[in-house]
Amino acid sequence: MRISAAVALGKIGSEAKEAVPSLIKALGDSDPGMRYRAAEALGKIGSEAKEAVPALLKALGDNEPEVYMVADSAIAEIVPEAREAIPSLIKALGDSDVRVRHGAINALGKIGSSAESVVPALIAVLSDPEPNIRKEAISLLQHIGYTGNDFLAALERTANNDSDDSVKKLASDVLLRIKFDMLASGKTFEPKPISTPEPQVSEKQKPISLQEGFWQRWAVVIGISKYQDTRIPSLRYASDDAESFYEWLISPSGGKYAPANVKVLLDHDGSFKNIRDALFVWLKQAIEEDVVTIYFAGHGSPDSPDTPDNLFLLPYDVQYDSIATTGFPMWDIETALKRFIKAKKVIVIADACHAGGVGQSFDITRRADRGLKVNPISSGLQNLSKVGDGICIISASDDKQFSQEKKNGAVDMESSHTFCLKG
């Protein structure tokens, strides 16, 4: 009934503007079908739904592709005549989710010439970690027709120094066209240093220059000690170990990773959605020549003693009585490696602690004294190495052992990681 109501409101169109607050609330519904229809209806209402833009931008991070695609389309329908949305779009240019940033640039492009007011923000996007986002920013600035000295200087810098060849080429082409047009109209081309101040960043945020050439290092670090469902036993050191691993990764004397290239998900941030987004979306930034590291410290478990091959890593929001539907499947990691992560060198480090299994079905089995006598999580992790030649798997124990917690981790992080990088 709720979905049917949303469809009906969409058919009514702009005259259904009074329903906008209810549709915004429906964007957070647990049913993806409801979220889809709510976003669709808001798009059909059009500019009268301008107050929904922030919520639709947030929906671009939805873990259901159909939802964030229709949210993107809805924003495009709303913003051409909703210039009040510009502040929300500017804020979204700095979002951690690449889909949100992409949607914001697309929306600003729909607004057209009025987007000139966001020029400083678009110039800042030329330092975005995602090459496609940088290209979209260049194209939009060119479309706006902006030729200020700050943009020309940024274009020249990008054409000379960008890490991506396609971005360098686009910047060079646009710069050449602007030079030609200016000379043809009798203007002098003299780009001055960018006048807008550079954003202040902490030492941890400053990227570390790499000596290996044009390839980069990327990492997703997950550590979960405390679970939302209190029936799942807590771990003492998982999140601390993950944080220590992160500190080693970004250390100039350790992994030498640029902090911007490392996503850290500790405890409540290690939700099912965040883990999936990190592996399926965020790591898509890595190119074939890059190195990717995936680190997990937390519980791992089959869904039940009767299906020991159905293996799961347990995110923060896993449910004790529903491991099969709320755990993070091991085969999703395999899918990420096969279909989303382009890097040919991948290191997976896992310290998945458990005592044969976690959840309601295992407690029942233990009372019948039929608990698992092997650690299938380690076997499942090792099977990931079969996905490709460049995949290295490090687990805290083999399939005949159970990972034990100890301070600073069960894996020698530095030596094992260095070993993998050196092949």
Q: Is 164 among the domain residues? A: yes
Q: Tell me: the pLDDT tens digits for 45-92?
A: 887 888 888 888 788 777 777 787 788 778 777 776 656 677 777 888
| Residue of 77, 107, 113, 70 lying closest to 92 (CA atoms) | 107
Residue 378 structure tokens: 């380690």
The 10s digit of each residue's pLDDT in 383-412 is: 676 666 788 888 764 434 434 444 444 444
For residues 248 and 140, membership in a common domain is answered with no
User: Do 333 and 380 fall within a single domain?
Assistant: yes
- Read off the CATH number of the domain in which 352 is found: 3.40.50.1460
Cβ proximity of 340 and 384 under 8 Å? no
Residue 38 belongs to a domain: yes
For the chain, what's the residue count? 423
Domain at 83, CATH number = 1.25.10.10
At 112 the pLDDT is 59
Q: Please report whether residue 199 resides in a domain.
A: no
User: 255 and 321 share a domain?
Assistant: yes
* Lowest pLDDT segment from 9-18, 188-197, 334-343: 188-197
For residues 232 and 379, state if they share a domain: yes
- Mark whether 263 and 128 lie in a shared domain: no
In a domain, 191, yes or no: no
* Domain total of the chain: 2
Looking at the domain assignment, is residue 207 inside a domain? Answer: no
In a domain, 206, yes or no: no
Question: Quick one: 384 and 334 in the same domain?
Answer: yes
Which of 135, 166, 184 terminates a domain? The answer is 184
The first and second tokens of residue 91, run together, are 């804020």
Q: Does 113 or 342 have the greater pLDDT score?
A: 342
Average the pLDDT over 101-115 and give the result.
72
Gyration radius (Cα) of the chain, Å: 24
Same domain, 133 and 236: no
Q: Which residues contact 149 (CB under 8 A, 6 or more apart)?
A: 190, 191, 192, 194, 195
- Residues 128, 261: one domain? no
Supply the mean pLDDT for the chain: 76
User: In terms of residue numbers, what domain contains 130?
Assistant: 2-184
Of 184, 209, 232, the residue that ends a domain is 184
Question: Is 194 a member of any domain?
Answer: no
Residues 115 and 254 in one domain: no
Tell me what pLDDT residue 81 has: 60
| 156 and 233 assigned to the same domain | no
Give me the pLDDT at residue 233, please.
86
Q: Which of 58, 43, 130, 134 is nearest to 89 (CA)?
A: 58
Of the residues 140, 166, 184, which one is the last residue of a structural domain? 184
Q: Are residues 239 and 340 in the same domain?
A: yes
Residues 138 and 282 in one domain: no
Neighbours of 380 (CB within 10 A): 27
